[in-house]
Structure 1
């Protein structure tokens, strides 16, 4: 079971999405999957025995009834994750660029890593603030209130609009020229590279390459719009190029992504697809005012002869 929604307006500039996932499993049943998340997120876990293969090696977590909150840094490759037994999870997705302005850890330092959130903040347990005895709406409201309390203790600076625009372009069509984007934004290529490295934890080129792989994976998993599949495949030179990239980012061939159940990865991709649809809506609003100079409107999905 999964339930997701956007946070309240006063929280939304920094936190993109809040989701609940719950699984009732036999105590000895293990689900093995994984995920590739391009945004940092916090996951509140109750129940189950969890494992993850991170940059720091094999990790084990046993949340118990009291729960544990984990901070996931942005990922550059598929992270294998398993859970044994029944579980509950609330995931809070941070907007790209939010961790640096909110005093969070370096995106580069936490790339492909997981740290215990309680160790980061040094006080309290976030999982104790959630009334599990009540319904899902109460869970979401409680999480929002804790985010609001945290924001009230900061200056609430907004994420950098430069990297927000860069992310939007990568979500819509990641094959644009970086130098052209920087010029249109009125910054040097070096300034753009520093901003992207700070907010994404990786280089602009790798952000684009990962975005292509995530879009293709969403298509293979059946959570993308079917009519976009030809455009996604044309981003690769040939089938061997596609296979190499899927192996690099996911450790699997395209056929393995298509044939397997991949429950955690599918939820991961569905959340990103919502961000992509929002980016497409924002692009349409921008195009109504004149297409951005680094774009080729004819190459965009859904183009219908607009001048």
Structure 2
């Protein structure tokens, strides 16, 4: 949506040295300004309808270092936590784990997360509609929540054993893909809805688009589109688009976005007060605070999402060096 009659908001000015980082954190991969990032890639071609992205995060810290941060993800995610003591503030209260396989639902707002000590997390972001296609939990009931694989009736140890310590991150990614193929063969009762895939792409391209316009473009009734999005994203389409807009701005503020899109991302907000209000509602802090405080876990998630987004909208080819690297 073009807003030529609106001036760009006065964007928060990041510190001269870039977004704040936690000096106690070390990672094999990092952005140009030193923020840790994950090893991540697109799935194999046969899994593209089911998987959005695979990632491996390896972070070293002092044993007693407690990292206080948060996550805000727009998709459900299988997370295999291999190391570190994790704590999450969910809609069901505080959940703690160490070595565990879990399904995180999408988040409607920042979920506070802390982790003590060095940590390893391996995961798969599921595309919208996959839980429904696999006969899994109602994704709307999973918003801001998580469940262990044991609670979901899945073989937790089988998934945890996929990642052998001597293997490379790519070996772990391939093992996760293999297990997903098995899960699909065992549990799939239908294909993911193509309408949800089109809505996912639209949110990546322009999250200011109206739901009415998308329904017209997709050739479906608006009420039907709203029902499908609620079922496969866990929330109303307007809320999904609003969150996507905020996540793109957050990626820009943390330095894990395409700089050439900075002005277009800012123009999605009417003015500075609109930006501050919506950002505060979703992230629990102002844009400036978001820049000035270390956000390692949030940045890891944003970077993985932004890599997928840029590949999907054809601003980045798979395997190409990302603008922030």
Q: Shared fold by TM > 0.5?
A: yes
Q: CA deviation at 1:7?
A: 2.3
- The residue that corresponds to 2:211 in the other structure is 178
Displacement after TM superposition at 1:47 (Å):
2.1
Aligned equivalent of 1:237, options 253, 270, 287: 270
Taking the TM superposition and a 5 Å limit, the aligned residue runs for 1:135-284 are 135-155=168-188, 157-281=190-314
* 1:114 has 2:150 as partner: no
Q: How many residues align?
A: 278
- Give the stretch that moved more between structures: 25-34 or 69-78: 25-34
Kindly indicate whether the alpha-carbon contact (under 8 Å) linking 2:42 and 2:308 is maintained by their aligned counterparts in 1: no
Match of 1:7 in 2: 43
Q: Which residue pairs with 1:294 in the alignment?
A: none
Equivalent residues of 1:131, 1:142 under 8 A apart: no
Deviation at 1:155, TM superposition (A): 4.2
Q: Which runs of 5+ in 1 are unaligned?
A: 283-307
Cα distance, 1:231–1:119 mapped onto 2, change above 3 Å: same
What are the ranges of 5 or more consecutive residues in structure 2 without an aligned counterpart?
1-26, 28-37, 316-325
Residue 256 of structure 1 aligns to a residue whose secondary structure is: helix
Tell me which protein shows more helix as a share of its residues: 1
Residue 152 of structure 1: how far off its partner (Å): 1.9
> How far apart, CA to CA, are the structure 1 residues paired with 2:46 and 2:153?
22
Change (3 A) 1:36 1:155: closer
Deviation readout 1:45-96 (Å, 9 max, x if unpaired):
1221111111111221132xxxx10110011100111110122110111011
CA distance 1:134–1:176, shift in 2 (3 Å): closer
Instruction: Quote how far apart the aligned CAs of 1:226 are.
Output: 1.6
Displacement of 1:122: 4.2
1:124 Cα deviation after fit: 4.5
* Residue pair 2:86, 2:116 contacting (<8 A) in 1 also: yes
Cα 1:148–1:180 shift into 2, 3 Å: same
TM-score normalised by the chain length of structure 2: 0.81
* Aligned-pair Cα RMSD in Å: 1.6
| CA deviation after TM superposition for structure 1 residue 146, in Å | 1.2
Point out the more displaced range, 158-167 or 76-85: 158-167
Task: Tell me: CA distance 1:155–1:74, structure 2 relative to 1, closer, same or farther (3 Å).
Answer: closer
| 2:97 alignment partner, one of 50, 55, 61 | 61
Q: Write the distance in 1 (CA, Å) between the matches of 2:52 and 2:268.
A: 27
CA distance in 2, matches of 1:170, 1:142: 30
Which structure carries more relative contact order (alpha carbon 8 Å, separation 6+)? 2
Deviation beyond 6 Å, 4+ runs, structure 1: none
Distance 2:171 2:248 in 1: 33
1:131 aligns with 2:164: yes
1:140-197 Cα offsets, whole Å, 9 max, x none, are 2222221121122134733111111111111111111211221222211110100000
CA–CA separation in structure 1 for the residues paired with 2:232 and 2:188: 18
1:273 to 1:156, Cα distance in 2 relative to 1, 3 A: farther
